[in-house]
Structure 1
Amino acid sequence: MAAPWRVDGVSPGSGVRSGARAYPMRRTMFVLAVLGALICGGYLAVREAVRWAVAHPGPALGVGAVVLPLLVVVAVVAVRGMPRLRELRRAARAGKAEAEAEVAAMAATAPVAQAAPVVEVEAADAAPWRVEDFLALDADGFEQAIARLCERDGCRDVQVVGGAGDLGADVLATASDGRRLIIQCKRYGETNKVGSQDVQRFGGTCFTVHEAEVAAVVTTSTFTEPAADYAATCGIRCFDGERLVAWANGDGATPWG
């Protein structure tokens, strides 16, 4: 059974806010300790200042003429700043409450995730695959199709992991020769080419984060020249729509071949 959704350590419907009680108690104890230290320190400082002033009345008058105006200025600034400080605190509390309410609303209305459809891709299909066939799939279906192609051609441990927070990896697999394969899927229309920024983002994670031994970007479209140049420099393999169709129909190389 999935763990209940939590915000600030509170489980909805539990009626328990132990974390919320513990935090104000610790904060109160800390504030009291600081106030006690300030009062004791202030008392000792004033007592020693009075003793010194009695013993040295001349220098005490000079110091007092300088220190007292500064204390007055500091007090005035502090008093004037208090309303602004209270205003900022109220705004901060209101912003936090609004953010928590938004998170709660999103969690309450979030649809239940549905399993991605299984897409069958076989080279022996009656009709050969075309780019339009891949474009007819949604983003999840396209990732599933690439995963099925990997399985068909001998990959093991194939996983579809695309989605929020995937750090560029859509399909993970182990190639038939044992190398770790990371594929990013780009289901783009003909006029929407995979650009240099797309490949750079993938290049920043595929080797360092996902520890790829083979990294490939597979798209239904094409790559811009800067994207292809960057991929060649980093060792990322580019599979455009034409190469994808050849792979699906068994007429071309695999991304890891």
Structure 2
Amino acid sequence: MTMPQRRPRPRYRGRRFDLRATAMSFGLLATALIITGSAVRALAGVAQRRPVWAVVLLCVVVALLLAHGRRRRRLSAARIARTAGEALEQATTTALDALEAPAPAPAPARTADPVRATLRADDYDALTPEEFEEAIAALCIRDGCSQVRVVGGAGDLGADVLAVAPDGRRLVIQCKRYGDDNKVGSQDMQRFGGTCFAVHEADVALVVTTGEFTTPAEEYAEQCGIVCVARDTLTAWSEGLGPRPWAADTRAPGTP
């Protein structure tokens, strides 16, 4: 009599580890995180510059989330559309109200201290960045500039001192109170170059520092027509031994 033999149970074979697929998954995840971070950063910049559109966008996102949540509950498409439309209408109303509201008053400009115009160049090292801005404004007043304002601070878009030269040209000055081991780089210069003429409508744009400029920064400034006032030039200006920084026209050829 033969005994029935039991069929062996198939062993469970787990999925083999695929290094290539895992690496691709991590790569896609990293790419998604980078894109998401960039989008969030861009939206944060837009929200700072255009708070009205930030409110509109937020309301639209809320409407979409509500629509998605209710769709999962198997609500009718008509009700979802009506909810989204109501949210969008509310966002539009909020945006219109914000546009009609008066704009907030800008922060008052600081005044220059005339005493700081008598400082020697070495004395600037003991000043705070705000006091250095006031000292440069005082030099402008000493040398005949009018409508001198110290406007440096949050949201200044690179302009620390605004003034009108004796010949009527508009001066836009960025002040960098740096130490000997810290130079004004090309990135600093590029940020200022992107706003001094297009936004602040400068006739003469100057970057004044207690330190020095890197070679790429000087090359960029020469291309854009920005006046670089390094420590030696600042010393000559402050002590009355050199020309006023705005005396030379350094705008690039063909620049209006």
TM-score, length basis structure 1? 0.53
Contact 1:121 1:248 in 2 (8 A): no
1-structure distance, mates of 2:111, 2:180 = 25
Query: Are 2:233 and 1:240 equivalent residues in the alignment?
Result: no
Per-residue CA deviations over 1:58-98 (Å, capped at 9, x if unaligned) read: xxxxxxxxxxxxxxxxxxx8249xxxxxxxxxxxxxxxxxx
Pairing of 1:16-55 with structure 2 (within 5 A): none
- Identity percentage of aligned residues: 59
Cα distance, 1:198 vs structure 2: 0.3
1:106-255 maps to which residues of 2 (within 5 A)?
A: 118=113, 120-122=115-117, 129-131=120-122, 133-255=123-245
Contact 1:116-1:140 within 8 A present in 2 as well: no
Q: CA RMSD in A?
A: 2.8
CA contact (8 A) 2:236 2:242 kept: yes
Q: Secondary structure in 2 aligned to 1:206?
A: coil
Residue 41 of structure 1 corresponds to none
Offset, 1:142:
0.3
May I ask how many residue pairs the two structures share in their alignment?
149
How many angstroms does 1:240 deviate by?
Answer: 0.3
Structure 1 gaps, min length 5: 1-7, 9-76, 81-112
- On the 8 A contact 2:163/2:170 being kept in 1, the answer is yes
Match of 2:93 in 1: none
- Larger C-alpha radius of gyration, 1 or 2? 1
TM-score, normalised to structure 2's length?
A: 0.53
Listed as ranges, the gaps of 5+ residues in structure 2 are 1-50, 52-70, 75-107, 248-256
